[in-house]
Amino acid sequence: MKTDKETTFKAMAKWYGITERERQESIYKEVARLPSKPCPSVEGLQKMIEIYDWREMRLHKPQDFFDASFVTELDKSGYIDGLYAKAKN
């Protein structure tokens, strides 16, 4: 989504029915703010544990709810950075 704006807009229209250019632009700006590397947010998971304050939730740490090894390996290999490098060329 971050590398080809027009293709992203076409996909929004096809798959989500979002055809208004102003709305597409707004969504695209929000997407641009998202991190390029999809790592889990430990802080976000901690907040969810606090919000859903059930006994079972208190038994866990945020790290118990995800496995970042796949994304970490992709990052180490340079694959993720390579996706964005190709777009700049």
Q: What is the pLDDT of residues 31-45, one digit of tens each?
A: 888 888 888 889 999
User: Residues 1-13: pLDDT tens digits?
Assistant: 888 899 999 999 9
**Looking at the chain, how many residues does it have?**
89
Dist CA 15 CA 29 (whole Å) = 19
Instruction: Check residue 88 and give its pLDDT.
Output: 54
> What count of Cα atoms within 13 Å lies in the side-chain half-sphere of residue 69?
3
Instruction: Check residue 73 and give its pLDDT.
Output: 94
Dist CA 45 CA 49 (whole Å) = 6
What residues does each domain of the chain span?
A: 1-34, 40-89
Dist CA 7 CA 12 (whole Å) = 9
Q: What's the pTM?
A: 0.59
User: Residues 55-87: pLDDT tens digits?
Assistant: 998 899 999 998 989 999 999 999 999 888 765
